[in-house]
Amino acid sequence: MFRSDLSGETDRVAGNQAIPPGWSSNPSAWGQRLPIAAVATVGFAIATYLTLFQYGVVDTVWEPFFGDGSQNVLESKLSRALPVSDGSLGAAGYLADAVSGVLFGVNRWRTTPWIVVLFALAVGPLGLTSVLLVIAQPVLYGSFCTLCLVSAAISLAMIPLAVDEALASAQQLRRVKDAGGSVWQAFWHGSDTA
Amino acid sequence: MKLTRGEVAQAVVAGVGGWLMLAPSVLGHVGSDIAQSDRIVGPVVLAIGFLSIFPITRLLRWVNLLPGAWLLLAPWLLDAPTDATISSMVAGVVVLALAPVEKAPQDQYGGGWITLVRPSDRPDK
């Protein structure tokens, strides 16, 4: 399951290339996935810090540009629209990105499509939510929050890095379907390219 | 590294989105209807433009036609002052002109997203 091949170009199972058919590189290679996990970890740290402010663990929040903007945004009604604060949901999202980003080996686009889809579902909606919150800050509260903008930029930057793997998985499942195989089986237990 | 036309065009579109986020403060009409419009459309144009820089998510570029068209209408519907009108109109023209640029080669991605609905486009077929 865990392989030490960092380039992700070869597979120990004979006859199965780790690079998806028609691709120039392997989207599940560690060289592609570790940077995403690193970026997600930074996002997690920022969101955790904002959460600590929202729950009063730290008294002030770092805001170099917008005066009391961060405070206005982080204490706004919208940030508490759900039972837990939006910062804590962001932290949970980033954690899900990091964990689902590193699980399984360099063939996971084909051996465990479910984790790749889960990964994409963790990355995509987090980015979308961030953009919506960036809109809400000035429109509803007349304020910007520097670290919230940084967090939004991070979550957006993860999307193009992450979705190539989802495309490889989806193409593999389509191949299985076209060959008359069980997509359900391939989704949970993997399939061969041959 | 040589940049492609599409990468440059989409980066410019993203920059227009960034400008729209700043415009209300720079032009001094914070609180007006056109300012709210800029601050809603700006992050959308910026985010879609940014994602469209990358070949794997270039398909999203078409989404920006919608906010691009709104930018041309908004100043007249929202009774904007002259400088905000010019800002919105120029932004709209740039977004509409550059958003379609340009289809990204999908040969490094096994034929791309289109193969999910049209498997015959797969290079391994």
How many other CB atoms are there within 10 angstroms of residue A52's CB atom?
Answer: 16
CA distance B88 to B80: 9
The verdict on a CB contact (< 8 Å) between B116 and A171 is yes
> Which of A22, A25, A135 is the closest to B43 by Cβ?
A135
Residue A142: what pLDDT? 87
Sign of CA dihedral A49, A55, A57, A62: positive
Query: What residues in A contact B119, CB-CB < 8 Å?
Result: 174-175, 178
The one-letter amino acid code at A76 reads S
**Non-local CB neighbours of B117 within 8 Å, separated by 6+ positions:** none
Compute the count of residue pairs across chains A and B with CB atoms less than 8 Å apart.
69
Token output for B79: 């009774």
pLDDT in tens, A151-168: 999 999 999 999 999 999
pLDDT in tens, A77-95: 899 889 999 999 999 999 9
Minimal Cα distance from A156: which residue of B?
B47
pLDDT in tens, A10-60: 544 444 568 999 999 999 999 999 999 999 999 999 999 999 999 999 999
Q: What is the pTM of this model?
A: 0.91
Predicted-complex ipTM score = 0.90
- State the average pLDDT for chain A: 90
- Shortest alpha-carbon distance between residue B26 and chain A (Å): 14
- Shortest alpha-carbon distance between residue A157 and chain B (Å): 8
Tell me: cis bond preceding A165? Omega within 30 of 0 counts.
Answer: no
